[in-house]
Structure 1
Amino acid sequence: MAATHRIATGSVIAAVCVASLAGCGTGGDGTGEQERDQRKAEPAPAPKNVVRLIGDGSTAYTGAQPHLPRPERLKPGEKPPQFVVFSWDGAGEDGQKLFSHFRKLAKENNATMTYFLSGVYLLPEEKRDLYHPPQHSPGRSDIGFNDRQGIADTVKQLRLAWLEGNEIGTHFNGHFCGSGGGVGEWSVADWKDEISQAKQFVRTWKTNTGMRNSAPLPFDYDKELIGARTPCLEGQKNFVKAARDLGFRYDTSGVGNQVWPKKKHGLWDLPLQLVPFPGHSFEQLTMDYNFMVNQSGTTTQGDPAKHELWGDQMRDGLLQGFERAYEGNRAPLIIGNHFESWNGGTYMRAVEEVVETVCNKSDVRCVSFRQLVDWLDAQDPATLRKLRALKVGQAPKQGWKAYLSGEPAPAPKGVPGAPAARR
């Protein structure tokens, strides 16, 4: 395994006053001596926009994240909300402007999302040798690196996304799949090395780009990072062991059905799910890439005449999966995507239409993984056991109130114990 390349950073956390996380100045205000004396006697107002820069100032502690709802435990007999998680692998802003588009879409539709950042998207091409991928030579990445403009644009979206209540996870770095050093062959130590480097690239993007006057990311990434999805859904077994040791709270690298989640190895297991695939006899994974592979193969720009059909299939499959849960066991729906224009952008259109259709319903919560695990951790374990006992699409026969409170369901009309029929 290649040794991790560490970049020296300052150990002192500086307290600075900034305007919009960018900087501020002070100067004379022309007030008289009497007025200044009066001000000295008054209590100082609480400082605004105060941050504590971390290391080289690439990240900063700015207080609790805004717009995070307080998780509440279900009351006895209360029907659980329908959670939907939209998540994005890679999560960088390029010329397609898809990050900014979906960030704004989420804000307009009462939703928050999870953005899994690839660390190398904050590492400029000319500094690629700073990356020492496990089981590969320094400077190797199957998804490339970035340039200064791309890094500046990505940082801007990450900053705005977090301030709007979205989650910043990790998709690690070089995205190595398959044999020959792919993530499925990595050891626990390899995963810890990869995670350490992913964090380091986030903590040092200013040093690596020279953009020292830019605003910092408004979070401490060591505290922000609580979950991930592995490249190509490979390497989960050893990744989970590493993630548990590093204090992660969830993993979403698996494949599963639409049932309520449980913990594995101390982490919430939140897999991508199988949903109906319109026009086919088999079910499909809730990810744009998997729909594409089952429609146009590995060709990312297939027959243009079929683009609309393919997008409709993904949209309708996700909506059918949503309805199955919404009217059934209310299991969270987990959806994964990429900021890509595969097959003419038809999958991006499909996701957008799903967001607009489901996220504005009163009892639906389109949330990040962080918000979902916060809610799960707040629940009575006995309630979660009952929820997990429900199968795909299965609603409680006696109704939610009886199922989650232990109260007997009312007897059906026409049987002993039923209310007398009115005449």
Structure 2
Amino acid sequence: MREFSRRGALGLGLGAAAAVGVAGCSAGDQAGKGALGPIGKGGKKSGEPSGPPAKLIGDGSTADTGPQPRQPAKPVPLQPGETPPQFVVFSWDGAGEVGNGLFPRFLKVAKDHGAAMTFFLSGLYLLPESKKSLYRPPNNPVGASDIGYLTDGHVRETIKNVRQAWLDGHEIGTHFNGHFCGGSGSVERWTGADWQDEIDQAVSFVTKWKTNTGFTDLEPLPFDYSKELVGARTPCLKGQDNLLPTAQKLGWRYDASSPGGVQAWPDKKQGIWDLPLQGLPFPGHSFEVLSMDYNILANQSGNTTRGVPANYPGWRTQATGTYLNGFRRAYETNRAPLFIGNHFEQWNGGIYMDAVEEALKSMSDKKDVRLVSFRQFVDWLDVQDPKVLTKLRSLQPGQSPTGGWKTFLTSA
């Protein structure tokens, strides 16, 4: 289920403004200095972590294998007059491998270009449909799901790819479970207790997949999810206000669920870093579009994910241009982080997957660019001088620092 939320200048209607607040998730359409160092280049190589043997957790679905491989150097504060890095976070909602090869494709793209990403795993993608009665979604029927369930074969492939993602240095967050965006059971109506229930179930599906699937020939996920899980994105970017108190109690560090933001340096909301998708300049239009593949699609082909094929080349160019427009605006001015949301989907012939790959490649070799996960980004934020962050937040989208970076941050 996909719904539009329209707010302010970013969302006055399709074809006249951007579609804001869309998080269209589905399983194959089933119902420099002071910066984090380069990711994936140098450091530990992909594969089994070195160190002590894995310590199995619970039924052996997960294991404590020690520090995560392929992590950047410990972040340090910006020095007076130093230019901030240009952070870019590519994230994936759902993170299920549904047989289209997109999960392994982007693991390879990330490795080839020294990128870390965040995978917001839907807990249901590790639960076989034959066991759907185990899922008791808040305010919805037992076993209900607006994204359906994966086949057993796709559950297997998802487990393998999530495992490899962590070993490659990527973050595993959560996209919760059933993805309810409308009606009386919408996540928009959930209480803090409802969110806690949903989170507990999502964690259970990730940490008990061996029991639930009966698979005995797969290696455990190589992380302790109770420690790994520090952030999320809600379905359709709804329900953040009631989620945040629960997230704070759980010790989460950020949330990526705000229904539309701008390219400015982030702040905290209820003690949690608020990292919203952002309005980006949309080529050929006077309005901005939210930095997610489905929002671009909605402004190109409306409510269909299979538009007229003759339009695909132009739409692909437009989608790529959107990401690169946002990147250049930040990179050349206020250096605000760029957050891009995606789905492993072949919508409109797969043009959005091609667009994000092309954009990532174009960004990766630029000076001061850091392609990081959300967790790595907040690691950097947390060691900065609060006065420096306040100064950075004073810059509006597209606003360059007065007098240049040497002068601007020296006065912070």
TM over 0.5: yes
Aligned with 1:50: secondary structure? coil
Structure possessing the higher radius of gyration over alpha carbons = 1
Report the counterpart of residue 59 of structure 1 in structure 2.
62
Report the counterpart of residue 184 of structure 1 in structure 2.
188
Report the counterpart of residue 350 of structure 2 in structure 1.
345
1:344 to partner: Cα distance: 0.5
Report the counterpart of residue 115 of structure 1 in structure 2.
119
Check the 8 A contact 2:333/2:400 in 1, yes or no.
yes
1:281 to partner: Cα distance: 1.2
Residue 290 in structure 1 maps to residue 299 in structure 2: no
- How is 1:82-231 mapped onto 2 (pairs within 5 angstroms)? 82-231=86-235
Check the 8 A contact 1:84/1:364 in 2, yes or no.
yes
Check the 8 A contact 1:80/1:330 in 2, yes or no.
yes
Among candidates 50, 55, 58, match of residue 53 of structure 2: 50
| 1:238-296 alpha-carbon deviations (Å, 9 max, x no partner) | 01121111111101111110000001101000000001011111100000000111111
Amino acid of the structure 2 residue aligned with 1:79: T
Report the counterpart of residue 4 of structure 1 in structure 2.
none
Check the 8 A contact 1:21/1:51 in 2, yes or no.
no
Among candidates 363, 366, 370, match of residue 371 of structure 2: 366
Residue 279 in structure 1 maps to residue 306 in structure 2: no
1:397 to partner: Cα distance: 1.9
| 1:77-112 alpha-carbon deviations (Å, 9 max, x no partner) | 110000000000000112101011001101101111
**Unaligned stretches of 5+ residues in structure 1:** 1-19, 23-46, 408-423
Write the distance in 2 (CA, Å) between the matches of 1:182 and 1:150.
Answer: 27
Aligned with 1:83: secondary structure? strand
Write the distance in 2 (CA, Å) between the matches of 1:137 and 1:306.
Answer: 40
Check the 8 A contact 2:98/2:150 in 1, yes or no.
no
Relative contact order, CA 8 A, sep 6+: which one is greater? 2
Write the distance in 2 (CA, Å) between the matches of 1:179 and 1:151.
Answer: 28
Among candidates 380, 394, 399, match of residue 394 of structure 1: 399
1:215 to partner: Cα distance: 0.7
Among candidates 247, 254, 257, match of residue 243 of structure 1: 247
Write the distance in 1 (CA, Å) between the matches of 2:156 and 2:53.
Answer: 22
Amino acid of the structure 2 residue aligned with 1:320: N
Check the 8 A contact 1:179/1:185 in 2, yes or no.
no
Write the distance in 2 (CA, Å) between the matches of 1:174 and 1:401.
Answer: 48
Amino acid of the structure 2 residue aligned with 1:165: G
Among candidates 323, 327, 337, match of residue 322 of structure 1: 327
Aligned with 1:370: secondary structure? helix
Residue 299 in structure 1 maps to residue 299 in structure 2: no
Check the 8 A contact 2:265/2:392 in 1, yes or no.
yes
Check the 8 A contact 2:189/2:239 in 1, yes or no.
yes
Write the distance in 1 (CA, Å) between the matches of 2:344 and 2:247.
Answer: 25
Amino acid of the structure 2 residue aligned with 1:266: G
Check the 8 A contact 2:264/2:334 in 1, yes or no.
yes
Report the counterpart of residue 25 of structure 1 in structure 2.
none
Amino acid of the structure 1 residue aligned with 2:60: G
Write the distance in 2 (CA, Å) between the matches of 1:149 and 1:225.
Answer: 25
Check the 8 A contact 1:110/1:360 in 2, yes or no.
no
Write the distance in 2 (CA, Å) between the matches of 1:334 and 1:126.
Answer: 36
Over 3 Å counting, the alpha-carbon distance change for 1:80 and 1:340 in structure 2 is same
1:362 to partner: Cα distance: 2.9
Amino acid of the structure 1 residue aligned with 2:81: G
Write the distance in 2 (CA, Å) between the matches of 1:295 and 1:215.
Answer: 42
Check the 8 A contact 2:51/2:66 in 1, yes or no.
no
Report the counterpart of residue 7 of structure 2 in structure 1.
none
Amino acid of the structure 2 residue aligned with 1:133: P
Report the counterpart of residue 270 of structure 2 in structure 1.
265
Report the counterpart of residue 317 of structure 2 in structure 1.
312
Write the distance in 1 (CA, Å) between the matches of 2:160 and 2:218.
Answer: 10
For these two proteins, the number of residue pairs brought into alignment is: 364
Write the distance in 1 (CA, Å) between the matches of 2:223 and 2:279.
Answer: 34
Check the 8 A contact 1:123/1:145 in 2, yes or no.
yes
1:147 to partner: Cα distance: 2.8
| 1:289-313 alpha-carbon deviations (Å, 9 max, x no partner) | 0011111111000011111111111
Report the counterpart of residue 5 of structure 2 in structure 1.
none
Write the distance in 1 (CA, Å) between the matches of 2:349 and 2:281.
Answer: 23
How does the TM-score come out when normalised to structure 1? 0.84
Residue 355 in structure 1 maps to residue 360 in structure 2: yes
Write the distance in 1 (CA, Å) between the matches of 2:170 and 2:302.
Answer: 32
Aligned with 2:402: secondary structure? coil
1:318 to partner: Cα distance: 1.1
Write the distance in 1 (CA, Å) between the matches of 2:236 and 2:51.
Answer: 43
1:360 to partner: Cα distance: 2.0
Write the distance in 1 (CA, Å) between the matches of 2:257 and 2:202.
Answer: 17
1:213 to partner: Cα distance: 3.8
Check the 8 A contact 1:275/1:317 in 2, yes or no.
yes
Report the counterpart of residue 24 of structure 2 in structure 1.
none
Write the distance in 2 (CA, Å) between the matches of 1:384 and 1:218.
Answer: 34
Aligned residues with identical type, % of pairs:
60
Amino acid of the structure 1 residue aligned with 2:188: G
Amino acid of the structure 2 residue aligned with 1:62: T
Report the counterpart of residue 74 of structure 1 in structure 2.
78
Amino acid of the structure 2 residue aligned with 1:406: S
Report the counterpart of residue 335 of structure 1 in structure 2.
340
